[in-house]
Structure 1
Amino acid sequence: DLPWLHYGQSVRFTSEAFPGETFTGQIAFIDPVLDARTRTVRMRVNLANTQSKLKPDMFVRAVVRSRIAKGGQVMDPGLAGKWISPMHPEIIKDEPGTCDICGMDLVSAQSLGYAEATQDTAPLVIPASAPLITGKRAVVYLDKGNGIYEGRDITLGPRAGDHYLVERGLKEGDRVVTRGNFKIDSAIQILAKPSMMNPAEGTLSALPLWKSSDAFLKHLEAVTQAYLPLQHALSHDAFDGLEALAEALHSAIDAMPSPSINEEQVSAWESLQASMHQAARSLSESSSDPGKCREAFSPLSLALSETLVRWGSSSSSNLYLLHCPMAFKGQGADWIQAHEAIENPYYGGRMFACGEVKETLHESDATSQESVTHEP
C-alpha cells in the first residue's frame, strides 16, 4: 500500500476508546526507512486535538482512500494546481507563496508525487478476479457475444484494492470474464488447443501473424531502425545523444499508419503504439538519468517485439529477441538486436555480455536463401 500514500493526504481513523467517533487528519511525514523487524513504515498525521482526547501511544485504526491515475500515480482533484507547505500539510494555497505557520516556501502538489487531475488521467482497471496470472504473463478472456470468448495477453500495472490497473492490451468498454475463466482455459485444452496460460514454448512466435500493407511494413522498418541506435547507446553507456535518438524514434512511431485490417488488429496496434509512444517520451524526458532510461526501454522493447511478430518485418537484416534474467532485480527484461552478439542495454559496461538469445524475430531474405543454398 505504500505507493498509494503521499504527504498531505487525508486520513480518517478511529479509536476503541471513543466508539463511533471518527477523527480526520493529514499525512505530515512518511519515514523513508523501513522497520527491519516489523516490515512497516511509521507515519505522522497532523490533526486538531483541541479536546485532548487522543493520547500518546494510543492505538488507532486508520484508513487512507487514494484515487489512482494512469501510471499508478495518486490523483487528488482537490490539490490540482495547488501549493502546499512542506511542513504543515493543512496550509494549501492557489498560488506560490510561503507557509503561514513556519514561513517556508510552498511547493507544488505535482512535486510531491500527485498526478495532474484531468479527465484523461483516470486509469483503466479490471476486477482482480479477471486475469489469469502465471509467472510474468497475465491473460484475460473477452466476451465477444454468442458464447464466444477470446483469450488475450495483457500487461498489468499495480494492484489497487480489488482491481488491477491495465497498462496494455484492453480498452474501455471491453467485457472481460471475471468468474469461470479457469473453466474456459480448461475447455480449450480439452479441445486439444493451446492453453492461453501456457502457449507453445512461451515465446512471442506463438502469436498469430497478421497481414499488413507494404506502407505499414515500411514505416515499421523505420521505427525498428530508430530503435536499434537507442539499444546500442544504452549498451555502450553513451547517453550524450540519447535525447535526440529518442525524439527520432518518437517521430517514427508517430508516423506509423494503422493496419486498418479489422477492429481486432486496429485495437491491438493502438495499444502497442501508445505503449511505444509513452516509452519514447519517457526516454527523451529522462535522457540524463541512466536508470530511468533503462526502465523506459523495457516496455518499448516489449511493444516493438510484439509488433514485429504480429505483422512481420521487411528488414534487410536479421532481428533477434534477447533476454537478461538479472535486469530490474531479477525480474528480467527483453530487447531487440540485429545480431546475436550480446550487448546488454540494461547494464551497459557493468555486465555488457549478460543475457541470451531468446528467439529470432525476423530472418532476412538473404539469410534464408543462404541457408537453403548450403543445405545438402
Structure 2
Amino acid sequence: MSEEQCRNLGEAVPGCCNGAEYNSRERQPHPKCLEGTRVDLLSYIYEVLDDLEKNRLIWLHGTAGIGKSAVAFTIAERMKGLKVTEETHVEMRLAGTFFFSHKHTKRCTAGYFFATLAYQLANNFPSIRQDVNRAIRNNPVLLDPGVPLCDQMEALFLQPLRNLQPRLRGCQPLTFVVDALDECTSEPELTDLILSLAQALRDPDLPVTHILLTSRPESRICKAFQDKEVRLLLCEIPVKTSGEGVATIISVDGADVDKDIYIFLQHSFAKLTSRHTDFPQSSMDDLAKLASRAGRHFIVASTMMKFIVDNKDDDPRDRLQLMLKLTSELLPGTEVYKLYDCILSTCADPKRAYMHLSIVAALICPTPKPGSAWGFRPGFALTVMHT
C-alpha cells in the first residue's frame, strides 16, 4: 500500500470511521483533563500502561458526566506523544482509538471498529501497510460492518499485530483507547466486542498491548466483564491497590473530584476574566461553593459556566450572583436536577423552556431500553439550550 493509499483509506473505505478517532474534528470540542486534575487516577493508569509483563484490559467506569471521556482523551494524547523506541520518528505507542457515540450511525456499532483500528495501525506502523492492504484486497467483504467480529479481528487486528511482534520485542507497550462502550447500542455486539478483545490479548504472538476501555457501569457491560477469561486480563478502575498493607481507592467519582472541579471552575473564571476585564476575581469561597454543588459531575460544572457566560443579553456578573444564590439554597445530595430546575425557572418563559427540554430529552433517547443507563445525560439538554 502506498502512503497516499494509506492516507486515503479512511476516507475511501466504507468500513472505516475516521470520526471515531480521539482527535477527530467530528468530536470537537475535545474534552481534556486540565493540568493538576485527575493526578492520582492518570498516574495509576500510566503505570499500568507501562507494564511490560502482560497484556491488560483496563476498564474505567463511572456514572454519566464525571469526565471519563476527558480521561480517555488525555491518555490517548499522552500515548500519541510517546515513541515505541528511541530510534523511531514515526511509530508511537498509541496504536489506535475508537470513541463510541449513540448519536452517530458508524460510532454506535462495533461493525466499523476493527477496520478503523486497522487504518490507524497502518498509518502508525508503515511496515504493516502491505499486510493490511493485502488482507483487504484478498477479502474485501471484511470491510462490511455486518461481517462477524471474529473474522474482522483476525485479519485486520491480530495479523498486523503479530507481524509487529518481532521488531517490537522489548519495546514499550502499545496502547489502544476505546471510549464510551455503553454507547454501542447493540447488546450482543457489545458483549461480542469485549469477549473478542479479551481473546485477542490472550494471543501469545502479540507485542505487549494494553487496551483502555471506558463506560458507565451498566449491567450488560458488567456481565461481560464477569467472564472468567476476561477477568484474567482485567484491571478495573475504581480498583483497590495495596501499598504497605494499606488499601487505597482510586476512583473517578470520589471526594478528590471536588478538588478537580474547583480547578476547572478556577480555570474557566480566569478565561472569563480575560474576556471581560471588569469581571471581578471570584473568591475561593464562591468557587468552593459552586464546586461542591456540582455533585462531582464535570458536566454539571460545565453547565454552570455556560449559564454564567453564554447568555449575550445578561451581564455575567449578574448570572454568577444568581447561580450562587441558587446553589446556596440547595441541600447536599439534591444538587444536580434541582439545580437544573432552578436554572430553567430563571428563563423568561419557563413553560416554553420545559417544553423544549422535553423535546430534546425525547430526541436523545426516544425509546430507552430496560436496564440501560444511556438515555438522559445530566446537563446535556441544558447545555444545548444555553449554547
Task: Give TM-score scaled by structure 2 length.
Answer: 0.22
Relative contact order (alpha carbons < 8 A, sep ≥ 6): 1 or 2 greater?
Answer: 2
Give the number of the structure whose residues are more often helix, by fraction.
2
Task: Give TM-score scaled by structure 1 length.
Answer: 0.22
